[in-house]
């Protein structure tokens, strides 16, 4: 029986340690390596321009690696559900890909597996994005995810050790199932340039919402009073709901400078700032455990700007930092100044990624607003002119919001039928450190 394999690349854009790709090669007569650029995902996901550039560069690198094995990467554009019926016309008998545990991925993959069965195509899915099979962990925990790290450790200790990394695919492996590459391959299946990808998005009416991010604005109290938006924008999507622990608003943020978040068409803007303020009040009210901030909006910013943003890690980290789920020691805070000084005393990271501050001495690199005027002039960076002034007093914001979180936990104790509202109930038998400047701030934008 002839075995024609298609390996569907998604996150694991590599030839080493790729179990699903190894399965595609085993006993195959032909193998095609495919990546699907999904316009629906591009239009709906919170993906910034740097992440797109990083993805395209990674695809170029993968294609280059495959060329050395006398193969190529087939980049196909479209939604997977629409693409695979055409790909199966290559007389495909086997489809392999890496397991995706995220909600969108599970729904997509379920539909593709069902479709493959209808076409008589064998589907092989292998776990390699995570060390352990997440579904197996949930199954061992009676169908529910473990809620503590201790419970998670107890479960994984009962599992077999993760497989050792597989070696890189060799020419011998690929040569035994080499697929002929057409002379016009680049015309149909090449990796697009960033400019080409953006232009295609603009030319497709249903995808213009993705391109609207070029119109995003950052509110500033002293400069932004009125905003104008392209009237040809598509109808806004249903806004994401943001709720508090008890369903009420914990705080309104009235100072425009505190917004610190990119704004796009999904918030149904009007041209006047006062109307915009009232709109935002009804949608974005969330208490961050150290300062009043938009935790959900910060999560979206991370999704957009981090090159290696991971949906699960990002969501879990923000639930942790906001003390809104499994972590309750809200008095344990991180000071962005103190943390930076401890981990990178010379400020090399800041000097590279915030070049405006590169000439500041180590003493002031994490607090440029404290530098004397002479130091600021010598560094060619005047705070308030070349670099923004602080939007919030971290120590004061930390103190204020620790107190607010304490009040919330006290309210929750009544909901749970608990009468003990002593500090030990919330602080694990001890008060938060007194007199210590504890703070955490996320610079959004």
286 inside domain = yes
Burial 363-391 (b: 16+ CB within 10 A, else e): ebbbebeebeeebbeebebebeeebeeeb
Which of 123-137, 238-252, 291-305 is modeled with the greatest confidence? 123-137
Q: How far apart are CA 128 and CA 207, in angstroms?
A: 31
Across 159-168, 287-296, 319-328, 389-398, the highest mean pLDDT is recorded for 159-168
Q: Is residue 373 part of a domain?
A: no
Asked if residue 188 is part of any domain, the answer here is: no
Query: How many angstroms from the chain centroid is the CA of residue 60?
Result: 22
Question: In whole numbers, what is the pLDDT of the chain averaged over residues?
Answer: 74
Confidence of residue 100 (pLDDT cuts 50, 70, 90): very high
Q: How far is CA 157 from the centre of its chain?
A: 29
Looking at the fold, whether 72 and 14 belong to one and the same domain comes out as yes
DSSP 246: T
335-384 tens-digit pLDDT = 788 889 999 999 999 999 899 999 999 999 999 999 999 999 999 999 98
Residues 282 and 415 placed together within one structural domain of the fold: yes
Residue 29 has pLDDT above 90, yes or no: yes
Is residue 166 helix, strand or coil?
Answer: coil
Burial class, 240, CB count within 10 angstroms (exposed 0-12 / middle 13-18 / buried 19+): exposed
Whether 270 and 227 map to the same domain: the answer is yes
Say yes or no: 153 and 51 in one domain: no
Position 315 in a domain: yes
- Domain count for the chain: 3
Packing angle of the helix pair 49-67, 295-305 (nearest 10 deg): 30
Q: Does residue 277 sit in the same domain as residue 241?
A: yes
Facing residues of 73 across strands?
A: 33
Please indicate, yes or no, if residue 191 is contained in any of the structural domains.
no
Q: For the whole model, what pTM was predicted?
A: 0.67
Residue 281 lies in a domain: yes
CA distance 21 to 33: 9
Does residue 71 surpass a pLDDT of 50? Answer: yes
Binding residues: 308-310
- Could you tell me which of 122, 125, 148 has the C-alpha nearest to residue 137? 148
Tens of pLDDT, residue by residue over 34-51, are: 999 986 665 556 677 778
Domain that holds residue 143: 135-169
Span 226-265, pLDDT tens digits: 222 233 333 334 333 333 344 443 333 333 333 333 333 3
pLDDT band at 176 (very low <50, low <70, confident <90, very high): confident
Work out the pLDDT band at 94, boundaries 50, 70, 90: very high
Please report, in range form, the residues annotated as the binding site for FAD: 308-310
Give the residue carrying structure tokens 């990624």.
353
Q: Is residue 435 part of a domain?
A: no
Alpha carbons 315 and 253: distance in angstroms, whole number: 23
């Amino acid at each position: 029986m002839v075995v024609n394999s298609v390996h569907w690349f998604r996150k694991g854009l590599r030839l080493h340690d790729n179990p699903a790709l190894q399965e595609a090669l085993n006993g195959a007569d032909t193998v095609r390596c495919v990546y699907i650029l999904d316009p629906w995902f591009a239009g709906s996901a919170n993906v910034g321009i740097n992440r797109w550039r990083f993805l395209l560069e990674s695809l170029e690198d993968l294609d280059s690696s495959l060329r050395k094995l006398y193969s190529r990467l087939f980049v196909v554009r479209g939604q997977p559900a629409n693409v695979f019926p055409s790909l199966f016309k290559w007389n495909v008998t086997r489809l392999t890909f890496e397991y995706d545990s995220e909600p969108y991925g599970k729904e997509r993959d379920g539909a593709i597996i069902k479709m493959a069965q209808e076409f008589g195509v064998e589907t092989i899915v292998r776990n390699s994005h995570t060390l352990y099979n997440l579904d197996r962990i949930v199954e061992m925990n009676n169908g529910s995810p473990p809620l503590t790290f201790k419970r998670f450790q107890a479960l994984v200790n009962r599992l077999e050790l993760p497989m050792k990394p597989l070696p890189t695919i060799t020419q011998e492996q690929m040569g035994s199932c080499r697929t002929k590459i057409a002379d016009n391959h680049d015309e149909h299946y090449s990796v697009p340039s960033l400019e080409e990808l953006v232009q295609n998005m603009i030319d497709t009416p249903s995808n213009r919402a993705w391109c609207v991010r070029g119109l995003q604005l950052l509110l500033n109290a002293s400069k932004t009073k009125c905003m104008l938006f392209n009237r040809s924008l598509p109808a806004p999507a249903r806004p994401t709901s943001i709720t508090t622990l008890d369903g009420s608003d914990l705080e309104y943020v009235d100072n425009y400078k505190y917004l610190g978040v990119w704004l796009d068409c999904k918030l149904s803007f009007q041209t006047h700032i006062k109307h915009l303020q009232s709109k935002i009040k009804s949608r974005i009210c969330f208490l961050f455990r150290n300062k009043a901030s938009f935790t959900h909006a910060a999560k979206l910013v991370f999704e957009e700007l981090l090159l290696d943003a991971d949906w699960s890690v990002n969501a879990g980290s923000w639930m942790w930092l906001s003390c809104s789920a499994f972590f309750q020691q809200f008095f344990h805070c991180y000071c962005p100044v103190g943390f930076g000084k401890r981990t990178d005393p010379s400020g090399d990271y800041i000097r590279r990624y915030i070049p405006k501050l590169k000439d500041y001495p180590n003493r002031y690199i994490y607090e440029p607003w404290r530098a004397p005027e002479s130091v600021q002039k010598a560094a060619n960076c005047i705070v308030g002119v070349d670099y923004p002034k602080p939007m919030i007093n971290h120590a004061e914001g930390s103190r204020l919001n620790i107190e607010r979180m304490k009040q919330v936990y006290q309210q929750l104790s009544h909901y749970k039928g608990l009468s003990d509202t002593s500090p030990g109930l919330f602080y694990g038998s001890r008060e938060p450190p007194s007199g210590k400047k504890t703070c955490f701030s996320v610079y959004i934008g």
